Structure 1
Amino acid sequence: MTVPYETIDTPALIVDLDRVRANVEEMAAVAARHGVALRPHVKTHKMPELATAQLAAGAAGITCAKLGEAEVMADAGCADILLAYPLWGEPKLERLRALRERARVRVSLDSVEVAEQLGRVAGRAPIEVFVEVDTGLGRLGRPPGRPTAELAGAIEKVPGVRVAGLLTHAGHAYRTTTSEELRRVAEREVTDLVETAGLCGGGLEISVGSTPTARHAAAVPGVTEIRPGTYVFNDATMIRLGVATEATAAARILATVVARPASDRFVVDAGTKCLAADGRPEDIVVAGRPELGMRFLSEEHGVGRCPADGGPEIGERLELIPNHVCPVSNLFDHAHGVRGGAPAGELAVAARGRVR
């Protein structure tokens, strides 16, 4: 029995650094080819080393979900940050004030109330904001068109705030089932914002996100910036959507088979505390082993299925490609970098747990 990465104890988050480099360079090339800025979302990896690599490959800046992430990345030298989340409360406003002293920080929002809070800490330089638009996800933002244009006009009147652009996240693209449907979502994402920007008087930046739509959206006239995140690692969902393959999936959970309680069942030492509880366990990909699959996860156990006349032995190691890699990164203090099938050092998940 061969033992991959035998010096790494399991369960472990392993990151293939060669695959990461290829993924980073490919998306940078997409942005460059279409003349748009690339601002990757670092919530996927939460690792300053990888953010630095993305910037070195041509990214214009980074996107963060929370102030805590932004603070970690600013400490690592990231100087241009979009905080794609509305801020509320005195503690966060004071941290934003401090963060702006060492980095350019722009913030997304979808209300006058949040804009008024931001304006109070602007100081001499107005805070640049992006007005979030709901292009179909049903999370944040008003609908495109007149509702958003009216909101943007009201926000522009708030002292200490300047509307720099419009922003959306087409998370509903994850629910598409065909490449043509995915392309339509991406194109609609951009055209909705471009038309809305026209109602606002023009001159606004158009920032769109999501790994599934990024390659399509970058090619639509009017977009100025794409904000994919998952592409750096990819995951089983990206494979299902056809925008990644097993070969481009750079982050995996290395797990050990610890039991074979039935001829058609195996158990690994990785459950929801490693793979997260996001999505269907049966969609998890067992890399290089198409005859294997996962049935369900409990906290510490991953229960898999295998052919009754074969399957992994106790002690065998498997690489599991998670459904959604972003919360997986948040479950580990560090990742094991690998190159050419050999360990290549650890990477601290420095922004892990920075949820405020």
Structure 2
Amino acid sequence: MYPEIDTPALVIDLDVVRANVSEMAKAAASNGVRLRPHIKTHKMPELARMQLDAGATGITCAKLGEAEVMADAGIDDILLAFPIWGEPKLRRLAALRERARVRVSLDSPEVAEGLGRLGGPPVEVLVEVDTGQHRLGRPPGRPTADLVAEIAAIPGVEVVGLLTLAGHAYHSRTAEELAETSRREGADLVATAELCAREGIALREISVGSTPTARHVAGVAGVTEIRPGTYVFNDTAMIRLGVANERTAGARVHSTVIARPTPERVVFDAGTKCLTSDGTGTPDWIRVVGHPYAHMDFLNEEHGVALLEPGHHDALPVGTRVQLIPGHACSAVNMFDSAYGVEGGRVTTELRVAARGAVR
């Protein structure tokens, strides 16, 4: 299992990634919507280019730092799905707009007023709507329509659409619940846009979709683009939701058993500084591939501690190398400076996680 790679290490199966990228591109195309993948999952220009080459019309970034890295790589159609506040960031955004088409999402007049002072062509903005996650945005319908009207009156900005993230879909307990949450995500935004149109504000973009909801919400009439991110790698959260499986999990942390202090306890050399604590407490939130009888118990900074089921206490001796599927691919990737790319069972490249730590 790639003995030339020292552990712990982030290993990306590029064959799996290409298949994941192709499948989501086909799902978008078959529903007549644009695909604008969120690059916070991989943070690598090479993989963003792979997504664009497969049919994506642009990319989504969480932070200006990510967008700057992608623009440096020649990617020139970017949605910043995060409110931009403060003069330092506004100066950077102005510079970024000179070399890329940049849209920004927001949910307040205060942020819009800052964008409006940039000068030049109006800043295209999408107003974020709270469809159930209760993070950013006002509820759909009248509360959002009123906000759209207020922001549309601010000089220097152009409201081009609505945006949401149905993050609450991650808590779905059944496939039917996930499908219904996805449908509501799209339908609520479309209905809100129709209300805005009746009041004289035409919105041409309805931007939706996390990885769990993307394939469902792409089929809602009126949706124009989907923004999945995790699908490129997948993780145990996607497996739990039934939108991925171990075969489609393309990013894994390779680790080594460094201790067997008791018959049932296994200690790996990868802890929160590789896998993060996201998902802690969820059953099998980190999967030990090929060893279903090993269940991760807890993580410390440098240690991952798993427990073996009775009857398997002789498994996983010291020195055994394993592959761990993280609970959250996006945060795990951000822990590494680089990743090893494998193709056809061979290590073929080393990829720099170029936007790692780009949190400003």
Say yes or no: TM over 0.5.
yes
Deviation, structure 1 residue 340: 2.1
Query: For the residues of structure 2 that align with 1:249 and 1:151, how far apart are their CA atoms?
Result: 40
Where structure 1 has 5 or more consecutive residues not aligned to the other structure, the ranges are none
Partner of 2:343: 339
Judge conservation of contact 1:165–1:205 (CA < 8 Å) in 2: yes
Alignment pair present for 1:207 and 2:204: no
Q: Over aligned residues, Cα RMSD in angstroms?
A: 0.8
Deviation, structure 1 residue 307: 3.3
Once the two structures are superposed, the pairs formed by residues 171-210 of structure 1 within 5 Å of their partners are 171-201=167-197, 202-210=202-210
Query: For the residues of structure 1 that align with 2:38 and 2:16, how far apart are their CA atoms?
Result: 18
Q: Which amino acid in 2 is paired with 1:257?
A: V
Alignment pair present for 1:235 and 2:235: yes
Judge conservation of contact 1:37–1:225 (CA < 8 Å) in 2: yes
SS at match of 1:346: strand
Residue 312 (structure 1) aligned to one of 306, 313, 316: 316
Query: For the residues of structure 2 that align with 1:302 and 1:157, how far apart are their CA atoms?
Result: 53
Query: For the residues of structure 2 that align with 1:199 and 1:9, how far apart are their CA atoms?
Result: 57
Query: For the residues of structure 1 that align with 2:184 and 2:25, how far apart are their CA atoms?
Result: 23
Partner of 2:62: 65
Deviation, structure 1 residue 342: 1.6
Partner of 1:162: 158
Partner of 1:257: 257
Partner of 2:248: 248
Relative to the length of structure 1, the TM-score reads 0.98
Query: For the residues of structure 1 that align with 2:119 and 2:286, how far apart are their CA atoms?
Result: 45
Question: Which deviations, in whole Å up to 9, do the C-alpha atoms of 1:24-78 show, x marking residues without a partner?
Answer: 0000000000000000000000000000000000000000000000000001111
Query: For the residues of structure 2 that align with 1:40 and 1:277, how far apart are their CA atoms?
Result: 24
Q: Which amino acid in 2 is paired with 1:173?
A: A
- Give the fraction of aligned pairs with identical amino acids, expressed as a percent: 66
Q: Which amino acid in 2 is paired with 1:129?
A: V
Partner of 1:85: 82
Please list every run of at least 4 consecutive aligned residues from structure 1 whose deviation after the TM superposition is greater than 6 angstroms: none
Partner of 2:355: 351
Alignment pair present for 1:96 and 2:93: yes
Query: For the residues of structure 2 that align with 1:260 and 1:204, how far apart are their CA atoms?
Result: 59
SS at match of 2:140: coil
SS at match of 1:180: helix
Q: Which amino acid in 2 is paired with 1:195?
A: A
Judge conservation of contact 1:144–1:196 (CA < 8 Å) in 2: yes
Query: For the residues of structure 1 that align with 2:263 and 2:125, how far apart are their CA atoms?
Result: 58
Judge conservation of contact 2:159–2:203 (CA < 8 Å) in 1: no
Judge conservation of contact 1:82–1:106 (CA < 8 Å) in 2: yes
Deviation, structure 1 residue 345: 1.2
Judge conservation of contact 1:263–1:307 (CA < 8 Å) in 2: no
Partner of 1:46: 43
SS at match of 1:50: helix
SS at match of 1:283: coil
Aligned residues: 352
Deviation, structure 1 residue 203: 3.7
Query: For the residues of structure 1 that align with 2:203 and 2:279, how far apart are their CA atoms?
Result: 39
SS at match of 2:358: coil
Query: For the residues of structure 1 that align with 2:287 and 2:230, how far apart are their CA atoms?
Result: 16
Deviation, structure 1 residue 209: 2.1
Deviation, structure 1 residue 122: 3.3
Deviation, structure 1 residue 6: 0.2
Partner of 1:18: 15
Alignment pair present for 1:268 and 2:271: no
Deviation, structure 1 residue 339: 1.4
Partner of 2:119: 122
Judge conservation of contact 1:122–1:161 (CA < 8 Å) in 2: no
Query: For the residues of structure 1 that align with 2:240 and 2:219, how far apart are their CA atoms?
Result: 22
Deviation, structure 1 residue 290: 1.2
Query: For the residues of structure 2 that align with 1:283 and 1:129, how far apart are their CA atoms?
Result: 36
Deviation, structure 1 residue 315: 0.5
Query: For the residues of structure 1 that align with 2:112 and 2:88, how far apart are their CA atoms?
Result: 16
Which is further off, 337-346 or 72-81? Answer: 337-346
Deviation, structure 1 residue 248: 0.1
Alignment pair present for 1:106 and 2:72: no
Deviation, structure 1 residue 327: 0.6
Query: For the residues of structure 1 that align with 2:68 and 2:105, how far apart are their CA atoms?
Result: 17
Deviation, structure 1 residue 92: 0.3
Alignment pair present for 1:325 and 2:348: no
Residue 302 (structure 2) aligned to one of 287, 300, 303: 300
Judge conservation of contact 1:257–1:268 (CA < 8 Å) in 2: yes
Once the two structures are superposed, the pairs formed by residues 220-231 of structure 1 within 5 Å of their partners are 220-231=220-231
Judge conservation of contact 1:236–1:285 (CA < 8 Å) in 2: yes
Deviation, structure 1 residue 204: 2.7
Deviation, structure 1 residue 227: 0.1
Query: For the residues of structure 1 that align with 2:237 and 2:213, how far apart are their CA atoms?
Result: 13
Relative to the length of structure 2, the TM-score reads 0.97
